């Protein structure tokens, strides 16, 4: 289903640039051309048009991996013609996905015996993983309610208002009410106390986020586990926890191995992670891991006898490429624990460089935490003349894609800019970005304010801010004489 719109009525044909060397007629835009064109022309036309896309490396909006090693690129290209679902024909690919599931389950401290296999599956991303985990919770809850002779037609799920949109999708598609804990002015993640208050007998699970999409902050899963254990004891329910570790699942085990957020907590029954975020694979791979066989209802598993042997599967789709699974296996064995730790630590250091640079301008409040996903979320201290959306717009002129967005209720009056630090975002780029943000601020300062009434007040505040900035600059220059650490990228 294509939900795209036609750009304009008159844009009915595509004009070529260099392809005019091969073909002279323009191509219709929305209808299949009647005739073939030479392969060189097709390549040239598409290549020229794609030049207008943003540069993925400068796309600071996204967590998704934009660079892999050439050796891995080779493996990916060699596997593009393998359908993942043909497990009988490509048993090695199936074996590699099973190895990945087991490695990730161990990374998340799943209680599996030496000779036991982990329960989990590779998906297209965390969204599919979350649909599957949600379905398992819903079915388990329904089965239990039916066995008790109680109604099971009003399931709900408790999350923070900061959840990623895929939870709303799950709720709508699979008819589960989404009960959201509201945020506060100074607290942008789910409050475990409030979440547990919202739990009732129809709650299929509480979903905590390890690495809120909005500011990278880790939710307190341990506290949630403790409070929910207490509530379960009092009520006789056994409401479980799912951890949406889409971005944090490949951060916490390396940066904060002592943080208990995973299967070490008894109520955590399933965890999802995006292989294509800090799992360091190109877009198209995610994982969901269950604590044990008992947490994945047997009736959701399809035993397909496809072209040969029996294969248990639990996915929302059927055919898909094999490359992403192979690429994930490549990263796991190529980098190992040591390699992931180096890369993630380096991201964290670059996030700090950016954060310090932004603080030095004196113009921003930092709303991300030092402990969390390596990203920097920040908002303007003074938005009486210009706001974060204008900063974002102006940064585009320098090639940077930095999104600005408002927080969900009840913190919707807070607007933030967010820069995600990926492996390919080097220290040089971090310094360059600070420099360009300073230029943008100067440009905005020179423009007439959006809000005239505030001008005088603003001028006074600006004067104070400038003196603070000067003082900070001196301090930082003095401390710069000390050595720098070097990273891996």
Ligand X SMILES: *Cc1c(COP(=O)(O)O)cnc(C)c1O
Give the tokens for residue 7: 């750009």
Nearest CA to 263 among 115, 120, 64?
120
| Among 246, 252, 395, 440, contact with ligand X (rule: CB under 6 A) | 246
Cα 325 to Cα 282: distance, rounded to the nearest angstrom: 10
Binding mask 15-54 for ligand X (x = CB under 6 A): ----------------------------------------
Binding mask 194-233 for ligand X (x = CB under 6 A): ---------------x---x--------------------
Enumerate residues 62-81 that contact ligand X by CB under 6 A. Answer: 63
Enumerate residues 368-397 that contact ligand X by CB under 6 A. Answer: none
* Residue placing its CB nearer to ligand X in the complex, 59 or 274: 274
Nearest CA to 158 among 233, 264, 258, 267?
267
Give the tokens for residue 429: 């780029």
Least distance (Å) between residue 146 CB and ligand X:
30
| Among 191, 217, 220, 244, contact with ligand X (rule: CB under 6 A) | 244
Cα 431 to Cα 427: distance, rounded to the nearest angstrom: 6
Least distance (Å) between residue 238 CB and ligand X:
25
* Residue placing its CB nearer to ligand X in the complex, 251 or 296: 251
The CB-side HSE value for 314 (13 A sphere, CA atoms) comes to 22
Cα 459 to Cα 451: distance, rounded to the nearest angstrom: 13
Cα 70 to Cα 458: distance, rounded to the nearest angstrom: 52
The 3-state secondary structure of 230-247 reads HHHHHHCCCCCEEEECCC
Other CB atoms within 10 Å distance of the CB of residue 267? 20
The 3-state secondary structure of 307-356 reads CCCEEEECCCCCCCECHHHHHHHHHHHHHHHHHHHHHHHHHHHHHHHHHH
* Residue placing its CB nearer to ligand X in the complex, 276 or 386: 276
* Residue placing its CB nearer to ligand X in the complex, 103 or 283: 283
Question: With CB under 6 A as the contact rule, which of the stretches 242-250, 346-354, 446-454, 462-470 interacts with ligand X?
Answer: 242-250
Least distance (Å) between residue 114 CB and ligand X:
31
* Residue placing its CB nearer to ligand X in the complex, 126 or 392: 126
Enumerate residues 251-290 that contact ligand X by CB under 6 A. Answer: 274, 286
| Among 164, 324, 346, 348, contact with ligand X (rule: CB under 6 A) | 164
Q: Which residues contact 235 (CB under 8 A, 6 or more apart)?
A: 201
Is the preceding peptide bond at 122 cis, omega within 30 degrees of 0?
Answer: no
* Residue placing its CB nearer to ligand X in the complex, 244 or 262: 244
Least distance (Å) between residue 411 CB and ligand X:
17
Least distance (Å) between residue 284 CB and ligand X:
9
Total residues contacting ligand X by CB under 6 A comes to 13
* Residue placing its CB nearer to ligand X in the complex, 41 or 107: 107
Question: With CB under 6 A as the contact rule, which of the stretches 95-103, 243-251, 301-309, 466-474 interacts with ligand X?
Answer: 243-251
| Among 94, 109, 239, 247, contact with ligand X (rule: CB under 6 A) | 247
Least distance (Å) between residue 351 CB and ligand X:
16
* Residue placing its CB nearer to ligand X in the complex, 125 or 362: 125
* Residue placing its CB nearer to ligand X in the complex, 244 or 349: 244
Least distance (Å) between residue 178 CB and ligand X:
14
The CB-side HSE value for 105 (13 A sphere, CA atoms) comes to 26
Cα 208 to Cα 244: distance, rounded to the nearest angstrom: 6
Cα 246 to Cα 196: distance, rounded to the nearest angstrom: 22
Give the tokens for residue 387: 């706001």
Report the DSSP beta bridge partners of residue 282.
none
Other CB atoms within 10 Å distance of the CB of residue 399? 12
Q: Do 270 and 290 form a contact (C-beta atoms < 8 A)?
A: yes
Q: Which residues contact 188 (CB under 8 A, 6 or more apart)?
A: 162, 212, 214, 215, 217, 367, 407, 411, 414
Enumerate residues 113-132 that contact ligand X by CB under 6 A. Answer: 125-127
* Residue placing its CB nearer to ligand X in the complex, 155 or 372: 372
Least distance (Å) between residue 332 CB and ligand X:
17
* Residue placing its CB nearer to ligand X in the complex, 279 or 362: 279
The greatest distance separating any two alpha carbons of the chain, rounded to the nearest whole angstrom, comes to 78
Helix axes 455-480, 323-361, angle to 10 degrees: 110
Question: With CB under 6 A as the contact rule, which of the stretches 45-53, 88-96, 241-249, 360-368 interacts with ligand X?
Answer: 241-249
Q: Do 386 and 447 form a contact (C-beta atoms < 8 A)?
A: yes
Enumerate residues 286-315 that contact ligand X by CB under 6 A. Answer: 286
Is 437 an interacting residue with respect to ligand X (CB under 6 A)?
no
Question: With CB under 6 A as the contact rule, which of the stretches 16-24, 143-151, 178-186, 240-248 interacts with ligand X?
Answer: 240-248
Binding site for ligand X (CB under 6 A): 63, 125-127, 164, 166, 209, 213, 244, 246-247, 274, 286
């Amino acid at each position: 289903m294509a939900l795209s719109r036609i750009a304009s009525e008159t844009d009915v044909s595509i004009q070529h640039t260099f392809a005019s060397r091969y073909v002279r007629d323009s191509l219709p835009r929305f209808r299949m051309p009647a005739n073939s064109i030479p392969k060189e022309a097709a390549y040239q036309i598409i290549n020229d048009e794609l030049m207008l896309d943003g540069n993925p490396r400068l796309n600071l909006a996204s967590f998704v991996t934009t660079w892999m090693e050439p050796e891995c690129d080779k493996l990916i290209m060699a596997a593009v013609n393998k359908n993942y679902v043909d497990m009988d024909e490509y048993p090695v690919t199936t074996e590699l996905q099973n190895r990945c599931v087991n490695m990730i389950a161990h990374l998340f401290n799943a209680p599996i015996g030496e000779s036991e296999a982990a329960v989990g599956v590779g998906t297209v991303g965390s969204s599919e993983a979350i649909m599957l985990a949600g379905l398992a919770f819903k079915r388990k809850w329904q089965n239990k309610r039916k066995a008790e002779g109680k109604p099971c037609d009003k399931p709900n799920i408790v999350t923070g208002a900061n959840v990623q949109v895929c939870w709303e999708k799950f709720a709508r598609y699979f008819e589960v009410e989404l009960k959201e804990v509201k945020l506060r002015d100074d607290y942008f993640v789910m409050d475990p106390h409030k979440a547990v208050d919202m739990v009732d007998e129809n709650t299929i699970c509480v979903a905590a986020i390890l690495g809120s999409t909005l500011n990278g902050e880790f939710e307190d899963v341990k506290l949630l586990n403790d409070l929910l254990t207490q509530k379960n004891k009092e009520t006789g329910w056994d409401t479980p926890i799912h951890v949406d570790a889409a971005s944090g699942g490949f951060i916490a085990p390396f940066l904060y191995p002592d943080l208990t957020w995973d299967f070490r907590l008894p109520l955590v029954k399933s965890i999802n992670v995006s292989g294509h975020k800090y799992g360091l694979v190109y877009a198209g791979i995610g994982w969901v891991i269950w604590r044990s066989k008992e947490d994945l209802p047997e009736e959701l598993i399809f035993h397909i006898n496809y072209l040969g042997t029996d294969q248990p599967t639990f996915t929302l789709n059927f055919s898909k490429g094999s490359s992403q699974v192979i690429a994930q296996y490549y990263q796991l064995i190529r980098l190992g624990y040591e390699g992931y730790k180096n890369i993630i630590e380096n991201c964290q250091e670059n996030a700090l460089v950016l954060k310090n640079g932004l603080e030095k301008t004196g113009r921003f409040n930092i709303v991300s935490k030092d402990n969390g996903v390596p990203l920097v979320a920040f908002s303007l201290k003074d938005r009486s003349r210009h706001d974060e959306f204008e900063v974002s717009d102006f940064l585009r002129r320098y090639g940077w894609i930095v999104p600005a967005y408002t927080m969900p209720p009840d913190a919707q009056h807070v607007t933030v800019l967010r820069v995600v630090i990926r492996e390919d975002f080097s220290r040089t780029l971090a310094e360059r970005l600070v420099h360009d943000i300073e230029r943008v601020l100067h440009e905005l300062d020179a423009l007439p304010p959006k809000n005239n009434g505030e001008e005088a007040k603003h001028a006074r505040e600006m004067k104070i801010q400038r003196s603070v900035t000067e003082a900070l600059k001196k301090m930082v220059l003095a401390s710069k004489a000390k050595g720098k650490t070097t990273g891996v990228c």
